[in-house]
Amino acid sequence: MKLISGKEVSQIVKDEIKKETQQLLEKQIKVKLAVVIVGDDPASHIYVRNKKKACEYVGFESVEYALPEDTAEDELLEIIDKLNEDETVNGILCQLPLPKHIDEKKVINAISPLKDVDAFHPVNVGKIMIGDYDFLPCTPAGIMRLIESTGYDVNGKDCVVIGRSNIVGKPMSMLMLQKNATVTICHSRTSNINEKIKNADIVIAAVGIPEFVKGDMVKDGALVIDVGINRKEDGKLCGDVDFDEVSKKASYITPVPGGVGPMTIAMLMQNTLKAAKLHNNIT
């Protein structure tokens, strides 16, 4: 079994970005990410802090709008409008989830597709579907980069993606399809799920259930990607894959923490750099 280290690969990605950002700065081009967060969700605040730290590391400017829980939808939309207009801002990220009184869809639709570094806007989602995109959603893009780092050839392989969310499962399936895998998307209503997982060369688990994938569910030699971030009763972090059991059978596996998580942030940096290049007509 080989461990796929998101810590190591994300460091390589961030160092590449840092170098390119330096080259842009030499041409007087600055890269700037605006992060909007509404409310006090502790996990969201940790994510935002880590994103800002990554910006500092690669040499981006970052600006944070930390808004109170009771912020009106109109007020948030106004801030997004201003950021859309602001030529110094290359990327806009609105940390999800938003408080219940705000319509998430409206907010996603309000972000200019050219600054949509999460790639959640319907225009960008549509572009991914036809394989002609500027931005890829960060978590699936990070997973593709992790798989690439192993040298594993996805072409013609059977891949099971467990989970069909708009953020992970669906775009992930599309990217694997574009790399010529045969993709099965499993979800909460899938019948005979164990059989489907057992037949897969590649298993990508984005379920949100602690240690959902057990050792006896996977094929010998499978490549296993664990997207889950869950807390066990003892407070420890764990993934959607039972690492102790599955690592005995997998050819490659990602750990939690230190697997997909750091890649998501690195890819956010990559999208922001890409946005800055697009805004400055650099290909």
Q: Which residue numbers are catalytic?
A: 51, 95, 118
Distance, CA of 156 to CA of 151 (rounded, Å): 15
Binding site for ligand NAD (CB under 6 A): 139, 162-165, 167-169, 186-188, 190, 193, 206-209, 227-230, 260-261, 264
Q: Is 213 helix (H, G, I), strand (E, B) or coil?
A: strand
Give φ, ψ of 37 to 5 degrees. Answer: -130, 135
Closest CB 172 distance from ligand NAD, rounded Å: 9
Closest to ligand NAD by CB, 59 or 239: 239
Closest to ligand NAD by CB, 82 or 231: 231
Closest to ligand NAD by CB, 178 or 190: 190
Closest CB 54 distance from ligand NAD, rounded Å: 13
What's the half-sphere exposure (Cβ side, CA atoms, 13 Å) at 206? 21
Distance, CA of 237 to CA of 42 (rounded, Å): 15
Closest CB 14 distance from ligand NAD, rounded Å: 15
- Residue 249, classified by CB atoms within 10 Å of its CB into exposed (0-12), middle (13-18) or buried (19+), is middle
Which stretches within the chain are classed as H helix? 6-26, 42-58, 73-85, 104-110, 122-129, 138-150, 169-178, 193-198, 243-246, 260-279
Give φ, ψ of 139 to 5 degrees. Answer: -70, -50
* Total residues found in the chain within this entry: 283
Closest to ligand NAD by CB, 218 or 229: 229
